[in-house]
Amino acid sequence: MRESDRKRTPNLEHVVDHVNSFDMSMIAARRMGAEEGTPLLIASAVGANLEVWTRTLLDLARARPIVTWDLRGLGDSGIARSQRVDASAHAEDGVAVIDYYEVESFHLAGWSTGARIALEIAHRYPERVASLTLVCGGYGYSVTSGLRHLEIASMLPLASGVAKHFAGYLGGAFRGLMGRAELAGLIRQSGMVGPTADTAALVDMVRSMGDSDTRTLLETYEAVAGRAAPELLGQIEPSTLLVAGERDPFTPRRIMKVMEERIPSASLTVYDKATHYLPIEFPARLASEMDSFMTENDKAGRFA
């Protein structure tokens, strides 16, 4: 094992493994935490790295293994050999990773656009998912529905589809912004995160986005967030914990209410004063509630 391959965050120490997915795309996989227990599979959001989850996972990793992966074409994963970057392709990548670690049943969680990928996994492999947690994320955006409800966030996939044609220029400008020493202060002043947020983690995440290929990033966001799939909700079998932020401008509360109503075994919790970046604002509370939820479903013995 090369020293450069090892990540040394307590409880989250790991190496990067490389896994072949269904179309021979090379996926960067990560396993960390405890050796025993039903693992938690984290579906990453488009462009996000592990930093957004780190403070939440520190506690969870003491009780169970944590598995995650970098989305194809992003992070340490290779390009999509089939050129597919839709939610279904990412879902199959996640299952290829969990199979690589010889895991049969697992808990599943996703934040932001990772929730769309997690829904796809839960729909395709209900017999393997012990529980599902969706944090500040939904089933994708519909432009028509967004216009009807005056939700600007629903226009973001369409905007990404236009912006990808100017990826070269936009990427240079974005990387220039990410390189500014005062980036943390700018984020604070923007109001996009709450006062309890771990700004350093958010800075690390957005800088990792700057390191990504801009066109791939925009195409992936368009393909994942821009394909609304409300039809999946009624077919989700695992118990589902929905966590929303009171001040989240990117995942409208309406969407999470729809999920609560349509997913057969779903419950919704709203965090006061939380934004879209809830995992870095209230990590201890989120970890505690996820741990209780997963432990409850472990004891329920769904796979016994």
> Tell me: the pLDDT tens digits for 195-216?
888 878 877 877 777 778 899 9
- Could you read off the pLDDT of 101-155 as tens digits, one per residue? 999 999 999 999 999 999 999 999 999 999 999 999 999 998 887 777 778 888 8
User: Which residue carries 């505690």 as its tokens?
Assistant: 288
**Count of domains for the chain:** 1
Residue 252 identity (one-letter amino acid): P
Does residue 222 lie in a domain region? Answer: no
- Could you read off the pLDDT of 214-252 as tens digits, one per residue? 999 999 999 999 999 999 999 999 999 999 999 998 998
3 has a pLDDT exceeding 70:
no
Distance between CA 135 and CA 120 in Å, rounded? 15
pLDDT at position 86 is 97
Does residue 107 lie in a domain region? Answer: yes
Across the chain, what does the average pLDDT equal? 89
Question: What are phi and psi for residue 292, nearest 5 degrees?
Answer: -60, -40
Report the percentage of the chain scoring pLDDT > 90: 66
H-only helix segments in the chain: 51-60, 87-100, 114-124, 143-148, 156-163, 167-178, 183-190, 199-211, 214-225, 253-262, 278-281, 283-300
> Residue 146 CB: number of other CB atoms within 10 A?
20
3-class DSSP assignment, residue 237:
coil
> pTM value?
0.90
Instruction: Give CA separation, 286 vs 60, 215, 244, 289, in Å.
Output: 10, 33, 11, 5
Does residue 83 lie in a domain region? Answer: yes
Does residue 196 lie in a domain region? Answer: no
Does residue 170 lie in a domain region? Answer: no
CB 133, CB 241: distance < 8 Å = yes
Does residue 160 lie in a domain region? Answer: no
Return the CATH number at 59: 3.40.50.1820
Q: Which pLDDT band, with edges at 50, 70 and 90, does 5 fall under?
A: very low
10 has a pLDDT exceeding 70:
no
Distance between CA 64 and CA 62 in Å, rounded? 6
Strand partners, 135: 111, 243
Residue 246 identity (one-letter amino acid): E
pLDDT at position 113 is 96
Does residue 26 lie in a domain region? Answer: yes
pLDDT at position 304 is 44
Does residue 152 lie in a domain region? Answer: no
Range of the domain at 95: 3-141+229-299
- Could you read off the pLDDT of 250-295 as tens digits, one per residue? 998 999 999 999 999 999 999 999 999 999 999 999 999 999 999 9
pLDDT at position 100 is 98
3-class DSSP assignment, residue 106:
strand
User: Which residue carries 């960390």 as its tokens?
Assistant: 32
